[in-house]
Every structure is written in C-alpha cells, then in structure tokens.
Structure 1
C-alpha cells in the first residue's frame, strides 16, 4: 500500500535523495515552505519510515574496488531452510552490495564488488561454492556501468 504524501513531501524527498546534506533552510527555498515547516515534514517523513537513512556515496574506484561483478547462484535444494541459510550467508558478506531472489533458471543474483579478479575468484571458490546451500555459481564481470542510481522516480 502506497502511503499518502503530498506534493511538498514528494519534492522534499526528491531533493534529499539528490543531496541529503540539504538543510531545512535550503529545502524551504526550493519547495516554498518555511524552514520550520520543512523541519516538521522531514521529521515526520523520517518517523513514518519514508526516509530510512542518510549515507555518503563513496567512490568505488578511488577506494580500490574497481571490479563490479554480477553473480548468479542456484541453490542445492529448494526449501525454506536452505534459502534462509543462503540469506544469512549473504547478509554477512560486505562484498555483496545487492542480493535479489529471482524467478526462472537462477535463484539469486548478487552484485559483488571486489578489488580484482583474484579477489573475485577467492570469493566464489572460498566463500560461495563451499557453502552448503549453494549448488552452482556463474559470474559476469561488468565492463561498463551505464547508469547506477538508488534514486526513486518521484516525478
């Protein structure tokens, strides 16, 4: 169910997902509300869970994590316990930036960040493949990222 928010809330959310460092004064100038109204609205949006967190977006390449990999995983058996074990494994792995359960041939797709090919090989061979829940792993190295965004299309 989509919660009811008005055009001011949407504009505040759109601006904050673009730049979370905006002050209530900055927001007030851009949405034509007073700083106190923006403050109350921001607090309500946080309290109601529309804003889950504020974070910095780090430069992957500058920090030595230049290899982006898409890893598909097929589970050994398809039951709730095996899926839970795999989910627990993935939640502990800092290299995994995203993990999605899929329909179709593969069970999961992971976005995995590594510094180099050697690290990717170690991740697959020493972490994923030996895990009891995993049957098969396929990797694809991203050659070029055309778009990368966590922003929602708020209009």
Structure 2
C-alpha cells in the first residue's frame, strides 16, 4: 500500500535521485533505515524502474529538437518489426509513439542542428518504407520535465 510518505519520497527522488538517504529521511521525518526500507520496497514493487543522469543537450551538442510525424500504408508484422528495429538503431531518436488520427507515429529527435535531420531521414527510409513524413522543428521549450505526478497512486 502506498501512503503519503511514499508519494513524497517518489517526488523527492524525481527531483534529485542523488539526494543522500539521510536528507531524504529527514524530509520525510523517518529514520534513515526506515527510509531505506521504503525505498527498497518501492524499487522492488516497480515504482522506481531505473535511475539515470539527465545530460545537458547544449553541452553535448544536441540542442535542436525535431518532431517527426510518420504515416505508413503498411501494417504487417514484418513491417512493424523493421520499423521498430530502424527507430531503435538511431540514437538521435529519443521517443517513438504510435498515434491515433492522421499520422501513425510521432518521433522525438535530438539533433546538433536542423541540417542533420536529412541524415536521420535517409537512415530511416533506407530501412523501412513510409508513405509520409512531416518534420516539425521546436522553436522553444516551454516546459521540460521528466517528473511524473505522484498524486494518482
């Protein structure tokens, strides 16, 4: 059973997963050992699936975000496997979502510049047949968060 302390612990971890255990415990009014047990339980129960570092896209020269809308006329199992393999093989593709509506997929790309999109475009069409691709360049990031709201647990 998840309680309010668990929710607060999850929220704190999303802000900074490197927060020392004694600091987390203090913020939750728990002993470090009780906090450690809660954290271990949340991990074992699958609430925390992994811990990762968020890199500066500017520092690693990937400041440009492009969203790519993809339409296909093919939906066979073979095509799906090739598409999944294609998008998985290109590290600049950060996310791929299957959609309802006029397009079948949306891809989020992190690129060094707009011109590099052509490299990604060619890499995709070499591997899989598509009927339409429409690229949209992000001009400004208004909100960027990896933190999920914990109030729905």
CA distance in 2, matches of 1:73, 1:34: 51
Q: Which residue of 2 aligns with 1:152?
A: 148
In structure 2, runs of 5+ residues without a counterpart are: none
Distance 1:50 1:133 in 2: 38
Task: Tell me the number of residue pairs that the alignment of Structure 1 and Structure 2 aligns.
Answer: 151
The alignment's TM-score, normalised by the length of structure 2, stands at 0.92
Hey, what's the Cα distance between the residues in 1 that align with 2:32 and 2:129? 52
CA RMSD of superposed structures (Å): 1.3
1:87 alignment partner in structure 2: 84
Counterpart in 2 of 1:143? 139
Is residue 77 from structure 1 mapped to residue 97 from structure 2 by the alignment? no
Structure 1 residue runs of 5 or longer lacking an equivalent are none
* Equivalent residue, structure 2, for 1:18: 15
Higher relative contact order (CA 8 A, sep 6+): 2
Q: TM-score, normalised by structure 1?
A: 0.91
Moved over 4 A (4+): none
1:97 aligns with 2:98: no
